[in-house]
């Protein structure tokens, strides 16, 4: 399956704070799987700590929104918590990375669902 984005949509009862136990290993796995691991260990720790600080305060973290092959984004939504992995092109890497992250969330007992290509900006126009 080739997709541009994979969305991890959390159960309405899930809070940002509940993502805390799974976030560090999930974030590191995302960087590893997408080959975007920073060379400098200090910059990696800063990225991680900024996100973890927000989660501890039950706030939306930044994720990984840098120029690169893929991004990990926590969009601003009024409904429920969500995060998505996004690539500029349709690729089989997005589903693979999202599935790995989903398994890590399942181990941490964080209820969620996966949706594909839900970014309205990039949805294919039908009937044109």
Position 84 scores a pLDDT of 96
- CATH code of 3-121, in short, is 3.30.70
Q: How far apart are CA 45 and CA 61, in angstroms?
A: 15
Please report, for the chain, the start and end positions of each structural domain, with discontinuous segments joined by +. Answer: 3-121
> 10-residue block means of pLDDT along the chain (128 residues)?
94 95 96 93 95 97 90 88 93 94 96 91 46
Q: Are 95 and 78 in contact (CB under 8 A)?
A: no
Position 125 scores a pLDDT of 46
Whole-model pTM: value is: 0.87
């Amino acid at each position: 399956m080739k997709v541009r984005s994979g969305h991890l949509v959390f159960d309405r009862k899930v809070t940002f704070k509940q993502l805390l136990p799974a976030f560090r290993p999930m974030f590191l796995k995302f960087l590893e799987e997408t080959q975007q691991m920073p060379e400098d260990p200090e910059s990696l720790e800063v990225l991680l700590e900024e996100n973890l600080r927000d989660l501890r305060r039950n706030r939306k973290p930044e994720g990984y929104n840098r120029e690169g092959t893929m991004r990990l984004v926590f969009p601003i939504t009024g409904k429920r918590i969500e995060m998505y992995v996004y690539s500029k092109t349709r690729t089989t890497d997005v589903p693979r990375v999202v599935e790995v992250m989903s398994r890590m969330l399942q181990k941490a007992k964080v209820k969620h669902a996966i949706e594909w290509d839900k970014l309205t900006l990039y949805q294919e126009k039908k009937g044109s």
